[in-house]
Chains A and B, each alone.
Chain A
Amino acid sequence: MTQVSMTVNGQSVSGEIEGRTLLVEFLREGLGLTGTHVGCDTSQCGACVVHIDGAPVKACSIFAAEADGAEVTTIEGMAAPDGTLSPVQQGFRDHHGLQCGFCTPGMVMTATALLKENPKPTVTEVREYLEGNICRCTGYHNIVKAVLAASGQEMPAVAAE
């Protein structure tokens, strides 16, 4: 067992881990932050995306020990302390960007990273950036609409391809 320390959603945390403990296991089981989901556990689906030092990463494919000293943000860190949703979260709520909701934490984290890099993405850019996030309910159309809304843009009035 080794000691790991990091900042999670602005708070310093530490814990005892094994070398093989994945970051997502440390977040969920060590810290009780169960908003970060494990879908495929093979880095395909993106349900486990968190930000490490500001960049989106799949928490199922990094060991907790590799995040030692890092700044980690999870879905629990997205809303303001008073509960006000982030623009991306609000977009998902307003545009019905989820059905079962399992993929939503990862979608919100990836979409938030996109808007930081590219504040006014096109529909194509949104779809490409979400390539590593899989949703089996929505057909993606409302997710794209939600991300565009969060960027202050409206969905172009064309049928989905």
Chain B
Amino acid sequence: MYDFEFERPATIADAVAALGDEDAQALGGGQTLIPTLKQRLAMPGKLVSLTAIREIRGVCEDDEGHLCIGGGTTHAVVAREAADRFPGLASLAARIGDPAVRNRGTIGGSLANNDPSACYPAAALAANATVVTDRRTIVADDYFQGMFTTALDDGEIIAEVRFPVPEASNYQKFIQPASRFALVGVFVAKFADGVRVAVTGASESGVFRWSKAEAALSRNFTPDALSGLTVPADGMIGDLHGSPEYRAHLIGVLTKRAVSAAT
């Protein structure tokens, strides 16, 4: 890979300062970025590793009952420590990549990268999580802005992700058998004031909410409530793993399965 400067600050403040340089890039767990650097698809002048910043690691609960996950928390830790409080989220984290990848990859890295087939964006959008950065808070509805695009500014660091905890939730992931990424993934979250459904892997615009299904499920939280509802294939991803029509069809199937598993 290309040469670069490497820094490993121990505080958010030092990391933000290091990222102030033009051409600096934050490095989370590196499970996407390091392979990307090897392929020479990225060429930052400086890498700022976030792995030494203790204050952005760990899982806790705030006074309002939100599950607060530090941006530098690995998938393995979320799978373990969110299991009692938010099993739908823990189960999602436990299915990302493989055990070794889950020991490095972080929730902040996944959300900052916003890969259109990543799992975490579906949970964050379905639960309407709040992304807390070094400088502001951003609600999920405003955060995701298309494939690999988010509301984050250059050099902005995800310090924490704050999840409202649903009454019931489930994530269904239909894996692309070679990469094990989601060919389509659907996260359903039922709250006292309504149901939210977020879809990853399917759309050329990245993660999105299926509002028709949300309205139907908010009235009647059963798989039958989805009968007759379909997603148009327009704007869905088409590649050798599946056509736009196939992905659109899977959204309906997986949403029914998620509701069925959550009830």
Contacts and interface: CB of A to CB of B under 8 A. Distances in A.
Contacts of A110: 99-100
Contacts of B87: none
Interface residues of B, number: 25
B57 to A, nearest CB: 13
Contact of B4 (A20, A43, A49, A133): A20
A94 B207 CA distance: 48
Given A63-B30, A131-B98, A55 B35 contact: no
A113 interface: yes
A61 B2 CA distance: 15
B104 A62 contact: yes
A66 B51 contact: yes
Interface in B112-168: none
Contact of B101 (A65, A113, A132): A132
A58 B38 CA distance: 15
Interface of A is mostly: mixed
Nearest to A49: B100
A58 B100 contact: yes
Contact of B98 (A18, A46, A63): A46
Contacts of B6: 2, 18-20, 63, 65
Interface in A112-161: 113-114, 129, 131-133
B97 interface: yes
A145 to B, nearest CB: 20
A71 interface: no
A63 B3 contact: no
Interface string A49-61: 1001001111001
Given A19-B3, A63-B34, 13 more contacts: A19-B6, A20-B4, A22-B34, A43-B100, A46-B100, A57-B104, A61-B34, A61-B104, A65-B6, A66-B8, A110-B100, A131-B180, A132-B97
10 smallest A-B Cβ distances: which pairs?
A132-B98, A19-B6, A55-B103, A131-B98, A56-B100, A61-B34, A58-B100, A42-B35, A57-B103, A66-B51
Interface of B: 1-6, 8, 30-31, 34-35, 37-38, 47, 49, 51, 76, 97-101, 103-104, 180
23 contacts: A19-B6, A20-B3, A20-B6, A22-B34, A42-B35, A42-B38, A43-B100, A49-B100, A56-B100, A56-B103, A57-B100, A58-B100, A58-B101, A61-B30, A61-B104, A62-B34, A62-B104, A65-B49, A110-B99, A131-B180, A132-B98, A132-B101, A133-B98
